[in-house]
A and B are shown apart, each in its own frame.
Chain A
Amino acid sequence: MTMDMDEMLTKIKDRQWALADIDWDAPGVETISEDFKPRLKAFMADLCWIENVGARGFAAMAKKAPTPMIAEIYRYFHAEEQRHANAELALMKRWGMLEGDEIPEPSVNIRMAIEWLDTYADDMPLSVLGTVIPMLEVALDGALLKFLLEEVHDPVCHQVFEKINNDESRHIAVDFEVLDMIGHARARKLAIDFVSNLASPGLIVGALMYVPLLNRMRNNIVEMGLQPEKLYAAMSRFERLGRRGEFTHRVPLFQVLRVHSQMVVNSEHPYHLLANSMVKLSEYYPRALFRPIPTWFKELTYEPVSTGVKKGMNAA
Chain B
Amino acid sequence: MSAKVCTTLVIGAGFTGLGTAIKLREAGIEDLVILERADRVGGTWRDATYPGAACDIPSQLYSFSFAKNPGWSRTYSPSAEIQAHITELAERFDLVNDIRFNTEVTTMRFDRREARWEVSAGRRTFYARTVVVASGPLSDASLPKIRGIDDFGGARIHSARWDNDYDFAGKSVAVIGTGASAVQIIPELVKVAGSVKVFQRTPGWVLPRVDLATPEAVKQVFERIPVVQQAARTALFVAHEAAATGLVWNTPVTSLIQQAGKLHLRMRVKDRWLRRQLTPDFRAGCKRMLMSSDYLPALQAENCKLITWPIATITADGLRTSDGLEHHVDAIVFATGYDVHLDGPPYRISGLDGQVLGEEWAGHPQAYKSASAHGYPNLFFTCGPNSGPGHNSLLVYVQGQIDYAVAGIRTIVEQDLRWLDVKKDVQDAYNASIQRRLRSTTWMSGCSSWYLTADGFNASMYPGFATQYLRQMQDFRIRDYEVASNAAARLWNIPRDVAAV
Contact = CB atoms under 8 A, between A and B. Distances in A.
B326 A79 contact: no
Given A76-B310, A79-B309, A311-B302, A19 B273 contact: no
Contacts of A169: none
Interface string B321-342: 1111111100000000000000
B302 A118 contact: no
B309 A16 contact: no
B102 to A, nearest CB: 42
B310 A75 contact: yes
A294 interface: yes
Nearest to A63: B281
A21 B327 CA distance: 14
Contacts of B448: 68
A3 interface: no
Interface in B483-497: none
Contacts of A79: 309-310, 321-323
B328 A305 contact: yes
A86 B325 CA distance: 9
Interface in A14-33: 16-20
B305 interface: yes
Given A68-B448, A296-B273, A309-B304, A20 B312 contact: no
Given A82-B309, A307-B172, A16 B322 contact: yes
Contacts of B194: 308
A61 to B, nearest CB: 13
A80 B322 contact: yes
Interface of A: 13, 16-20, 63, 68, 75-76, 79-80, 82-83, 86-87, 118, 122, 294-296, 299, 301, 303-309, 311, 315-316
B57 interface: no
B325 A13 contact: no
Contacts of A294: 272-273
Interface in B296-352: 302-305, 309-310, 312-313, 320-328
Interface string B248-272: 0000000000000000000000011
B197 interface: yes
A18 B271 contact: no
B302 A295 contact: no
Contacts of B273: 294-296
Nearest to A14: B147
Nearest to B276: A122
Interface string B277-292: 0000100000000000
A295 B325 contact: no
Given A18-B312, A307-B328, 11 more contacts: A18-B324, A19-B325, A20-B326, A79-B321, A82-B309, A87-B324, A294-B272, A295-B272, A308-B194, A308-B195, A309-B304
Interface residues of B, number: 30
Nearest to A299: B323
A135 B302 CA distance: 39
B153 to A, nearest CB: 15
B470 interface: no
Determine chain B's interface SS by DSSP, over half rule. Answer: mixed
Given A79-B310, A294-B272, A306 B322 contact: no
Contact of B325 (A18, A63, A76): A18
Contact of B303 (A16, A118, A299, A309): A309
Contacts of B321: 79
A23 to B, nearest CB: 14
Query: Which residue, of A13, A18, A306, has the highest number of chain B Cβ atoms within 10 A?
Result: A306
Contacts of B394: none
Closest 8 CB pairs of A and B: A79-B322, A83-B324, A16-B312, A82-B323, A309-B195, A308-B195, A79-B309, A309-B305
Contacts of A17: 324
Contacts of A304: 324-326
B35 interface: no
A303 B325 contact: yes
11 contacts: A16-B312, A17-B324, A20-B320, A83-B323, A86-B323, A296-B273, A301-B325, A306-B326, A307-B195, A308-B303, A315-B305
A156 B274 CA distance: 34
Contacts of B196: 309
Nearest to A79: B322
Interface in B361-409: none
Nearest to B271: A295
Given A307-B172, A309-B197, A86 B310 contact: no
B305 A18 contact: no
A123 B312 CA distance: 29
A294 B272 CA distance: 8
A19 B320 CA distance: 10
B58 to A, nearest CB: 34
B320 A18 contact: yes
A93 to B, nearest CB: 14
B328 A83 contact: no
A308 B147 CA distance: 23
A315 B305 CA distance: 10
A89 to B, nearest CB: 10
Contacts of A68: 448
Contacts of B328: 305-307
A309 B323 CA distance: 16
Query: Which residue, of B309, B313, B322, B327, has the highest number of chain A Cβ atoms within 10 A?
Result: B322
B312 A118 contact: no
Contacts of B322: 16, 76, 79-80, 82-83
A79 B320 CA distance: 12
Contacts of A303: 325
B416 to A, nearest CB: 54
